[in-house]
Chain A
Amino acid sequence: MTSRPPRISRTGKSLIGFTYMLFIVLLLVPLLQIVFGAGKQGMGSFTQSLLRPEALHAMWMTFSVVVVVTLLNTFFGILTAIVIVRGDWLGRRVRQLMNSIIDLPFAVSPVIGGFMIVLLLGPHTVLGAFLAKVGMPVVYAFPGMVLATLFVTFPLMVREVVPVLQEIGTQQEEAASLLGAYSWTTFWKVTWPSIRWGVTYGVVLTIARSLGEFGAVLVVSGNIINKTQTMTTLVYQDVDNFNIAAANSVSLVLAVGSVTLLLLMEWAKKRKGVQADAH
């Protein structure tokens, strides 16, 4: 890192030029397109499309899903990571199996992820019918959307925390227990400070993913206006209705959220790095 050549050759310059072009064309221009697209239609139309009742409701739905999913995923993600790395009572084989299972959602298309929940808990299934009867329908309702998003985001937190736990090793925790600290104290005073930036990064990733989740939610929610429609499924519907301007406005809000999250990601990554270097 430190010993970079002072002068850049002509090949180097053209490669840098290529990279700049690539990033501008592939990433920056599309992003700016959304901004200018919204700007072109004017402020009035922009706010108007955002103040539609269905848009407001979609924002509320997205917000609720993000909050619930982030809380649950953070809790279970940390728990899973601890068990995988530290749970020697489970046996190596079982933990290896768990370790591979965690990655499965990465390999499952979101549409299939949603479809699985429909198959399992849809209104035609025994369990789904029962839950609907007791007043807690899952599919085409909020719980299903949360489940689908949880499925999709599950690996994110675990994959952030596992390497940190492996890296810090068990000795600090053992030292704490020999100094008289029991599990809970050891976790909060010794383990948590070491994993907290990894967790922060995982939280940001989870928020980003649940904010943007589309396929799984579309299938599970049924995309019912003013009921189960989220911001992303609203964009889809607006495009389907050829209401590009409205889609653009909602997208701009989502894009601003994503870019903010991207900045947060960079920040969390840097903090994580600082902590990892401070050995």
Chain B
Amino acid sequence: MNAVLHHKGVLWGFRTTLLLYMLLLIILPIAGIYVQSLSGGLGVLVESLTEPLAWQSVWLTIRLAFMAAVINVAVGTVSAWVLHRYSFPGRTLLNSLVDLPFALPTAVGGLMILLLLGPNSWVGQLADSMGLRIVFAEPAIVVAMVFVTFPFVIRAVQPLLEEADRSQEEAAHTLGASKWRTFFQVLLPQMRPGIISGGMLAFSRALAEFGAVVLVAGNIPGKTLIASVYIFGEIESDNPQGAAAVSVILLTLSFLILWLINTLQAREGRS
């Protein structure tokens, strides 16, 4: 019995509408990709995946997304801690800025990086004079991924810090633990679930990122062509088979991560 969902007819209508909506919007399309990838038989799927450009793009994406996630874990943890622990002028402003990458269209983010680090900017020219390539090369892709996934770790760690009892830290001090020791043995374990799930979310989002990367990567096949751009290219050149094959790899990987995060969170919630 339930106070809001009481009426029988309303209930039936709710259920049907909702299940249909979820089926049509989410389940059917996702299933469609898997079906498409196998529609030519397993052989065709394997063939599409052994295409060097395909697996190179997948591997490149995983590698760079992992780098971006590691960077975010490092700077995100420190930022979250600083924003929580210290009060200093501008703290509220910085805290609001964290969400900027979520609010900003990814294409705009890509353009910003292009303008900032591109061949016409002073950073780009400086790098050029040192023989480094930023834009249309791997560094720009990592920067784009870091930018887009920046909020994840911070936003996952912050609530844990809010919840954490300051007295635990104080207890460690009274027991003679130094500041660094307290940080590593008391604070870090408290932040760990957030660091892990935030890092994994960042990784999975970086794997999927398209808008910011497509503008700065240069998309040179086999070199700076990441998976989602590869998929886009295959769709554009009317090769749904190839697109579906890479999509399936990327999707499965993302679902695995999502599942991992959920199990981890469920376990945290129970303990």
Residues of A within 8 A of B (CB): 1, 3-4, 8-9, 11-12, 15-16, 18-20, 22-23, 26-31, 33-34, 37, 76, 79-80, 82-83, 86-90, 98, 100-113, 115-120, 147, 150-151, 154, 170, 173-174, 176-177, 182-183, 186-187, 191, 205, 208, 211-215, 218-219, 231-233, 235-236, 239, 244, 247-248, 251, 254-255, 258-259, 261-263, 265-266
Task: Count A-B contacts at CB 8 Å.
Answer: 276
Residue among B18, B114, B201, B262 with the highest chain A CB neighbour number at 10 A: B18
Distance (whole angstroms) from the CB of B239 to the closest CB of chain A? 11
Given A22-B75, A27-B100, do A8 and B86 touch, yes or no (CB 8 Å)? Answer: yes
Q: Which of B33, B101, B115, B240 contacts A27 (CB 8 A)?
A: B101
Residues of B within 8 A of A (CB): 2-7, 10-11, 14-15, 17-18, 21-22, 25-30, 32-33, 36, 75, 78-79, 81-83, 85-88, 90, 94, 96-97, 99-116, 146-147, 150, 162, 166, 179, 201, 204-205, 207-211, 214-215, 227-229, 231-232, 235, 240, 243-244, 247, 250-251, 254-255, 257-259, 262
Main secondary structure of the interface of A (DSSP, over half): helix
Q: Is there contact, CB below 8 Å, between A262 and B33?
A: no
Main secondary structure of the interface of B (DSSP, over half): helix
CB-nearest residue of chain B to A103: B258
Distance (whole angstroms) from the CB of B188 to the closest CB of chain A? 15
Q: Which of B14, B116, B201 contacts A33 (CB 8 A)?
A: B116
Q: Is there contact, CB below 8 Å, between A244 and B115?
A: yes
Q: Is there contact, CB below 8 Å, between B26 and A101?
A: yes
Q: Is there contact, CB below 8 Å, between A247 and B6?
A: no
Using Cβ atoms and an 8 Å threshold, which residues of chain B touch A213?
105
19 A–B contact pairs at CB < 8 A? A4-B86, A11-B179, A28-B97, A83-B15, A105-B26, A107-B204, A107-B251, A110-B210, A111-B208, A112-B208, A116-B30, A151-B29, A174-B3, A182-B7, A214-B105, A244-B115, A258-B104, A262-B100, A266-B96
Given A31-B100, A235-B107, A254-B105, do A177 and B210 touch, yes or no (CB 8 Å)? Answer: no
Instruction: For the complex, give the distance between the alpha carbons of A105 and B97 in Å.
Output: 25
Q: Is there contact, CB below 8 Å, between A33 and B112?
A: yes
Using Cβ atoms and an 8 Å threshold, which residues of chain A touch B243?
115
Distance (whole angstroms) from the CB of A90 to the closest CB of chain B? 7
Q: Is there contact, CB below 8 Å, between B100 and A87?
A: no
Q: Is there contact, CB below 8 Å, between B100 and A239?
A: no
Q: Is there contact, CB below 8 Å, between B30 and A108?
A: yes
Q: Which of A79, A176, A247 contacts B17 (CB 8 A)?
A: A79
